[in-house]
Structure 1
Amino acid sequence: MDAMPHRAEGAPEGSYRELLKLAGPNVLSRLGIMAMGLTDAIVVGHYSAVELGYHALGWAPTVTVLVAGIGLLLGVQVLTARHIGAGRPERTGPVLRRGVAYALLIGVVSTAVLVLLGPPVLRNMGLEPSLAAGASAALIVFSLSLTPYLVADSLWFWLEAQGRPQVPMVAMWIANLINLALALWLVPGLSPFPVAGAVAAGWVTLVARICLMLMLGWWIWRWPQAHEMGVFRPSPPDRAEAREQRRIGYASGVSYAIEAGAFSGMNFVAAQLGVLVVAAWAVVLNVAAAVFMVPMGIAAATAVLVSRGVGAGSATAVKRAFGMGMRLALAALLLLSVFVFLDRELVASAYSEDPALLAMAGSALLLSCLFFMADGAQVVASNALRARGDIWWPTGMHFVSYVVIMIPMAWWLAVVRGGGLDGIIWAVIVASLISGGALTARFYWLGDRMKQVDG
């Protein structure tokens, strides 16, 4: 990476107002992402605690692949924002077209792999036969919605980098309304179709994601600037930039897969302790993921401002964007942690009325408040590092924190030492603290060094 001057002429310094303008819709959009999964989990949980276990295990492999795919597409956001920062908006159209092509390829291949290999893997993991069968059926349906969601995500990233985060925010919440209406109809078995429970939730997710993709595509088609930027016309191939877009995506995809795979893998640690622990962990993971959407939205906005600073050649703008994003994320997470701490029983009761499940999940939510802020710090720092061109350090730290440390520690504390669900959560706390601290230190250690896109 190259050292940049502290201030390039005309480079954007950034402000909290600018950050909040991007972060507000970003947070609401990502809460919308979580709300969709949350809605399904709540509706399924109230239908049956056993079906909630099927839902959690069927969702785990698909969400790992999905998150990896989203990471592979992150180059759309980073390069689009850099070009805008450098005053080259006409180069953002080809970035999006490449992103959509990547999304289609990743989605189709991932779906085929999950449908063919997912059920055999679940059957051979030592799970109870009924648990493996129920999770396999849900997994197959969930995998079908990967392609439309990944295409939607490439459109989403491009719009956020263009400074139009309100569009995916509105589309996401319309998709949520569609999802909710269908879930209340299909999951309890009220429809004439022979589906219910976790499998029905999978079909609902597929329909909602297709609607999301179509809404975003329609808006971009109707946006005059998209045509001016070359989204809908061929352009000469730019092999260097295509490589850079893939390079950012490779590192991000591996990093996202490691993190999501590690957390999904905790479902299988919990499965060794019984279906009730799986269901309780699903509640904790859903709540933690909902909380995580706030710093994730702030991190996305921070990455856009950091990328624009890189494109403009301003190290000052890069550092200022990171500092603002980190402070905003930690302040928001402190408030959310206090809310969960004080109302953990109310939060847990949203998922189920099973007394045993409520008791276990309520206790676990109390403990989970300890890792919220550390997890938020690591996502802001990792996004900012990728935006400035340091793409492999977050991947390495995620591997060390979540694979080398978290998974073995969770097994040892929860299964070997008999700590149960609390043991799993303590492993998450330790891993998040290590990851958040190391990534933040790395950002400041880099100083003025960052990678630019050639003009």
Structure 2
Amino acid sequence: MEAIPVLSTASGRQAWRAELGATLSLAWPLILSNLTYAAIQATDVVLMGWLGARPLAASALGINLVFAFSLVCLGLVTASSPMMATAIGAKIQVVHDVRRTFRQSLWMIVTVMVPIWLVLWNSEPIILALGQEPALARDAQTFIHGYMWSMMPFLFFQAMRNFVAALERPGWVLVISLFGIGANALLGYGLIFGHFGLPALGIFGGGLASSIVWTVLALMLAVVIVTDRQFRRFHLFGRFWRPDWPRYRKLWRLGLPIGLAMGFEGGVFSAAAYLMGLIDAESVAAHAVALQIAAMAFMVPWGLSQAATVRVGRCLGEGDKPGIARSGWTAWMLGVGFMAMTAIVIWSIPRDLITIFLDDTAENARVIALATSFLAIAAIFQIVDGAQVVGAGMLRGLHDTRVPMIFAFVGYWAIGIGIGAWLAFRQGWQGQGIWTGLAVGLAIVAVLMLWRWTRRETLGLTRVAS
């Protein structure tokens, strides 16, 4: 396996320092934007926790079902990021090439949304078929009926975010996302509990608030793109109705494996939530809280992964193989280092983190105890979780998506969820067994991603894709 390159010359150190600065400059707004996205979801969890453990469990089932579909679609859209970055690095017909990719990424979103909405509208039978309590399934569908409409504006927002990130100007995304946190908290509070002159819609109101907020955020970023001088020269939304079938097909070829890989990863956590439902509602609620805490930490390596995709993709377009190595390894070391620190924090103060989401009362005592035991395992897998997500971003920058998709399926589903279910139900570990299986799956995928990255030259991944 290739070692992490270390250059002792002054020029080598300067190149690494320059790459570190470029990666951090691109990554920090993306990281903070990811954190605001997680904060919006965390707000939903907090508000549902105020309603009670059972509404929290029902909304968790709904969010996890929508999340599985959203991740697949997000993977499709993610394909536009390395394609735009490589076009910018190649410096050939940049405006035309970037515009083609962006427009067809929006076409992909429109293509998939209608059938997904039809499935989600009729989600109660699906949730029942997964062995959940009828009352929880009914309430989960009520939440989904409000929440499902957030998917299209959320994906439009991500497509536009990929564009501004490819130009290495993600600051506007951060500003708009920060607005979204406050807007979601206020609107969700009003629509759930009936404050500010709004109707009290309960669990449905929490989902509806997220749909409204994501629509507003997408419109705000679109306004920035059509008015900012550097962005508007691309005319991204002009003649949106014109098809570009070659680029559309290329996005599907690159994006479908990314979408399936992300779906396998996110879907395994959704599957874990439904396995928790086979235990009891308290386990579902504890899983939702523990997963939300882990997800907040995950936003940092995810942002570094997105930065790695852009930086590696640009170096690929320029034909700069040493630059490919520097950009990939820089992001990887930052991501793994950060997750090592968060593992220590989660291990040290789990109860303090959990009681952010749940009141420390006798009624919630069992949920808090379960969540604490889950976080003890989550602290262990933080490091490998960071390694696998940044590794995936590095490979996406090389337009390498099909084999990582296979890695994700084998690691998360054939091994991770299999071990988790076996430990939970055959060995009596219950929820702790499910989380142990998740940790094993993440570790295996991390090793496979890193192995493939170190063999990129041998595999011909550093040649620009046609």
Find the counterpart in structure 2 of residue 384 from structure 1: 394
What letter corresponds to residue 332 of structure 2 in structure 1?
Answer: M
Q: Counterparts of 1:336 and 1:372 in 2: how far apart (Å)?
A: 7
Contact preservation (8 Å) 1:159, 1:165:
yes
- Once residues 420 and 203 of structure 2 are traced to their aligned partners in structure 1, the CA distance between those partners, rounded to angstroms, is 27
Any idea what the Cα deviations from partners look like across 1:77-103, whole Å, max 9, x if unmatched?
111111111113212122211122222
Report the 3-state secondary structure (helix = DSSP H, G, I; strand = E; otherwise coil) of the residue aligned with 2:193: coil
Residue 293 of structure 2 corresponds to which residue in structure 1?
287
User: How far apart, in 1, do the equivalents of 2:195 and 2:422 lie?
Assistant: 43
CA–CA separation in structure 1 for the residues paired with 2:46 and 2:244: 47
Counterpart for residue 452 of structure 1: 464
- CA–CA distance in structure 2, aligned partners of residues 58 and 194 of structure 1: 22
State the aligned residue count. 442
Contact 1:48/1:197, CA 8 A, preserved across alignment: no
Q: In the alignment, which residue of structure 1 is the partner of 2:131?
A: 126
Q: Which residue number in structure 1 is paired with residue 7 of structure 2?
A: none
Q: 1:399 aligned to 385, 409, 417, which one?
A: 409
Give matches, 1:334-373, under 5 Å. 334-353=340-359, 354-373=364-383
SS in 1 for 2:55: helix
Q: Which residue of 1 aligns with 2:165?
A: 160
2: CA distance, partners of 1:185 / 1:437: 46
Deviations along 1:33-65, one digit per CA (max 9) or x if unpaired, are 111101110121122111100110011110011
Residues 278-328 of structure 1: CA distance to partner in whole angstroms, max 9, x if unpaired? 000111111111111110001000110000011111111111111101100
Check 1:312–1:435 CA distance in 2 against 1; reply closer, same or farther (3 A cut).
Answer: same
What is the Cα deviation at residue 453 of structure 1?
4.6
Partner SS, residue 31 of structure 1:
helix
1:187 corresponds in structure 2 to 192
1:15 aligns with: 19
1:58 to 34, 58, 62: 62
| Cα deviation, residue 184, structure 1 | 2.2
Residue in 2 that maps onto 1:261: 267
Distance 2:67 2:112 in 1: 14
- Alignment partner for residue 441 of structure 2, among 423, 431, 452? 431
After superposition, the Cα gap between the structure-2 partners of 1:316 and 1:241, relative to the gap in structure 1 and judged at 3 Å, is farther
| 3-state secondary structure, aligned to 1:187 | helix
Aligned to 2:5: none
- Cα deviation, residue 245, structure 1: 2.0
Q: Which amino acid aligns with 2:64?
A: A
CA distance in 2, matches of 1:431, 1:224: 45
Equivalent AA in structure 2 for residue 50 of structure 1 = R
Alignment counterpart, residue 301 of structure 1, candidates 307, 324, 335: 307
User: Take 1:57 and 1:147, find their aligned partners in 2: how far apart are those partners?
Assistant: 20
Q: Of residues 173, 178, 187 in structure 1, which corresponds to 2:183? A: 178
**Larger relative contact order (Cα-Cα within 8 Å, sequence gap ≥ 6):** 1
Aligned amino acid, residue 98 of structure 2: T
The answer (yes or no) to whether the contact 2:108–2:248 under 8 Å persists in 1 is no
Matches within 5 A, 1:240-279: 240-279=246-285
1:415 aligns with 2:425: yes
Residue 75 of structure 1 deviates from its aligned partner by: 1.9
Q: TM-score, normalised by structure 2?
A: 0.91
Q: Which residue of 2 aligns with 1:93?
A: 99
Alignment RMSD (CA, Å): 1.8
Q: Residue 6 of structure 2 corresponds to which residue in structure 1?
A: none
Aligned in 2, Cα 1:237/1:53: closer, same or farther, shift over 3 Å? closer
In 1, distance between residues paired with 2:236 and 2:133?
Answer: 50
Q: Tell me which amino acid in the other structure corresponds to 2:442.
A: S
C-alpha displacement at 1:139, in angstroms? 2.0
Q: Is the 8 A contact 2:147 2:211 kept in 1?
A: yes
Partner of 1:112: 118
Amino acid at match of 2:191: L
> 1:452 is aligned with what amino acid?
V
Is residue 77 from structure 1 mapped to residue 81 from structure 2 by the alignment? Answer: yes
- The residue aligned with 2:50 is 46
Mapped partners of 2:217, 2:239: distance in 1: 25
Conserved in 2, the CA contact under 8 Å of 1:187 and 1:197?
A: yes
Matches of 1:383 and 1:87 in 2, distance apart? 22
2:227, 2:215 → 1: CA distance?
A: 18
Aligned to 1:333: 339
Distance 1:452 1:243 in 2: 18
Q: Compute the displacement of 1:108 (Å).
A: 2.9
Question: In the alignment, which residue of structure 2 is the partner of 1:33?
Answer: 37
Structure 2: how far apart are the matches of 1:27 and 1:378? Answer: 17
In structure 1, C-alpha distance between the alignment counterparts of 2:325 and 2:246, rounded to whole Å: 27
Is the counterpart of residue 149 in structure 1 residue 119 in structure 2?
A: no
SS of the aligned residue for 1:446 comes to coil
Amino acid at match of 2:203: A
What is the distance in 2 between the residues matched to 1:323 and 1:362? 33
Deviation at 1:237, TM superposition (A): 6.5
- Structure-2 change in CA distance of 1:237 and 1:143 (3 Å): closer
Give the CA deviation at 1:18.
0.3
Paired with 1:189 and 1:363, the residues of 2 have a C-alpha distance of 35
Q: Does 1:139 align with 2:144?
A: yes
Flag the 1:238–1:135 CA change in 2: closer, same or farther, 3 A: closer
Cα offset, 1:261, TM superposition:
1.3
DSSP 3-state at the match of 1:306: helix
Letter in 1 for 2:33: S
8 Å CA contact 1:96, 1:158 repeated in 2: yes
Q: Which runs of 5+ in 2 are unaligned?
A: 1-14
Q: Among the aligned pairs, what percent are the same residue?
A: 26
| Residues 74, 157 of structure 1: 8 Å contact kept | yes
Q: For 1:229-249, what per-residue CA distance to the aligned partner results, in whole angstroms no more than 9, with x for missing partners? A: 242444996654433222111
Unaligned runs of 5+ in 1: 1-11
What is the rounded CA distance, in whole Å, between the counterparts of 2:237 and 2:268 in structure 1?
39
Report the equivalent of 1:7: none
- Quickly say closer, same or farther: Cα 1:191–1:238, change in 2 above 3 A: closer
1:217 pairs with 2:222: yes
Displacement after TM superposition at 1:433 (Å) = 0.7
